[in-house]
Amino acid sequence: MMNEIDLTKVDFEKPFMAGLMDGMPGGFFVYRGDETKKIIYANQKLLDIFDCDT
């Protein structure tokens, strides 16, 4: 039986997440679901779509 990951305890700001998300097809971003709606990560493909450097 596979171990399930408790996503409520994952630190989405860790570098390993960046490596995982860069492999996603198309533009992809992660943001906080609270009142700040802070973008935590955007992959390079999304930056290219919006013609952004960072």
Predicted pLDDT at 38: 93
**Looking at this protein, which amino acid is placed at residue 38?**
K
Domain holding 12, by residue range, is 7-49
- One-letter amino acid at 14 equals K
The verdict on residue 2 lying in a domain is no
What pLDDT, on the 0 to 100 scale, is given for residue 34? 93
Asked whether residue 54 is domain-assigned, the answer is no
Structural domains counted in the chain: 1
Beta strands in the chain (DSSP E): 29-31, 39-42
Question: In degrees to the nearest 10, what's the CA dihedral of 15, 21, 23, 25?
Answer: -160
pLDDT, one tens digit for every residue, the chain (54 residues): 567 777 677 776 667 766 777 777 788 888 999 999 999 888 888 899 999 887
Give the H or E element holding residue 4.
Answer: none
